[in-house]
Amino acid sequence: MTNFNQKNYFRVPKGYFEKLEKRLIRNSKSSSKKLYFNVPSGYFDTLEEAVVRKARSLTPPKTHERKANALYYFAGIAASLTLVFNLIQYQQNQVIEIEDQALNDYIENYYMDNLDSYEMLSMMEDSEIELLSDFSNKP
Amino acid sequence: MSTPQSIFVNALKDPINKEEAFRRLVSEYKERLYWHIRKLVLDHDDANDVIQNTFIKIYLNIDGFKENSTLFTWMYRIATNEALNFINSKASKMGLQNKDWIEAKADRLMADSYFDGDEAAHLLQKVVARLPEKQRIVFNMKYFDGMTYEAIAEIVDTSVGALKASYHHAVKKIKTEMNDKF
């Protein structure tokens, strides 16, 4: 058998056959040359990443993530309800306090306007009268 | 017996391996599907939109793939439908027939920075754009991709006989128009 390598004086660039194989496979996958259509440089590399990223964003979360999410939802709802309840209660208390104050003012003003000092003293406890007299006796 | 395709399809359906398998699928088929779509929509930006939608449809519908055809045929069919739906939607938004929309695209090809064709190549694209939709699809698959009639028949769901007739009519029209111009 002929020893081909001994008679072959021709050389090819380093890695030529590896590149040739890749080039042939690439060309067999597309007919871009026949069509004269082109794509931007590096397009197919970015396409792959873009498609995988898009697909990943469509994937529903895994079961344990869903459970955790459900827990967060319920905790959020519970917290909101507590907050709303507390707000309502606070507002109600505030209304009652404001109403109490207004009533007291009204009664006090009524007493001041319509009752004489005797009638006013008759409604007070003895200790309160003493306290008042203590203050009034001071210079 | 499990074939390499069914093993791969199972990986695509398995939630744990799905993403990795899908990445391999995109890597393997992106160029072939892209060029198929590009020949139908002509413009790179449009082809980019359609190829992305095609892969997303494949990703979302892989669980429904029953392996009655090869994976490649199934994907080719999705890509074809996506491209035709895209043309339909674009044309109707502009109040045009699909054929008029694609003809307008073909007319403007010389101004497209991603088209390197000479006058003859441009003329061929313009003549192909004037073919009825089905003839255009069959011509592209047979002439540019060198696909067999059997494979095309499976994708476009038509008999081999009807496809041969479509291709024959398409070639005849193209030859007549090209001869008239040159």
Complex ipTM: 0.83
Taking the CA of residue A60 and the nearest CA in chain B, the distance in Å comes to 10
Q: Does A89 touch chain B (CB under 8 A)?
A: no
Coil, helix or strand for B115?
Answer: strand
- Chain B residues closer than 8 Å to A32 by CB: 35
pLDDT tens-digit profile of B32-88? Answer: 999 999 999 999 999 999 999 999 999 999 999 988 889 999 999 999 999 999 999
Q: Please state, in angstroms and rounded to a whole number, the distance separating the CA atoms of residues B44 and B114.
A: 7
pTM of the model: 0.66
Burial of A85 (0-12, 13-18, 19+ CB in 10 A): exposed
Q: What is the predicted pLDDT for the residue at B88?
A: 96
CATH of B1-115, one of 1.10.1740.10, 1.25.60.10, 3.40.640.10, 3.40.50.2000: 1.10.1740.10
Residue of B18, B26, B121 with shortest CB distance to A36: B121
Taking the CA of residue A76 and the nearest CA in chain B, the distance in Å comes to 29
The residues, any chain, with a CB within 8 Å of residue A132's CB and separated by 6 or more, are A124
* Residue of chain B nearest A38, judged by CA positions: B114
Give the closest residue to B98 by CA, choosing from B53, B27, B41: B41
Judge contact between B43 and B86, C-beta under 8 A. Answer: no
Domain ranges of chain B: 1-115, 117-182
* Residue of chain B nearest A49, judged by CA positions: B23
Judge contact between B136 and B128, C-beta under 8 A. Answer: yes
Coil, helix or strand for B65?
Answer: coil
Whether B117 sits inside 8 A of A35 (CB atoms) is yes
Coil, helix or strand for B180?
Answer: helix
The residues, any chain, with a CB within 8 Å of residue B118's CB and separated by 6 or more, are A36
Fold of B117-182: Arc Repressor Mutant, subunit A (1.10.10)
